[in-house]
Amino acid sequence: MATTQQKSPAMPVTKKYAQIGPEEFRSTISQTHKASQSILDSVSDQVEGGLITPVQGAQVASAITGSLFGYTEFHREPRVSDLALLNWQQPENGS
């Protein structure tokens, strides 16, 4: 299911990953990892420079990397629209 469509950074993470093929996963997640590493380096500089506390640095890093990797999208109750993107079938009663 490879696509040549440009994926917007504002696109929900679940939708972005639902639209890529298996061969695109590594490069797609690597881009996000590089962005988060850059942010973590900057936050670390701020902590080491005494501009923010280690707790504040951890809060910032957690919020930003969680947002980049779609934490709230993947770790909450799924919406019907999310399940449709994943082509999920609801189990029948008793399953």
Q: What does the pLDDT look like over 24-50, one tens digit per residue?
A: 999 988 988 898 899 899 999 999 999
Residue 49 lies in a domain: yes
Label residue 23 by pLDDT band (50, 70, 90): very high
For residue 44, the enclosing domain spans 29-83
| CA 36 centroid distance within chain | 10
Residue 54 lies in a domain: yes
Answer for the pair 53, 47: CB distance below 8 angstroms, yes or no.
Answer: yes
How many separate domains does the chain show? 1
Residue 33 lies in a domain: yes
Label residues 14-30 b or e (16+ Cβ within 10 Å = b).
bbbbebbeeeeeeeeee
Q: Which of 60, 69, 28 is nearest to 41 (CA)?
A: 60
Is pLDDT of 93 > 90?
A: no
Residue 77 lies in a domain: yes
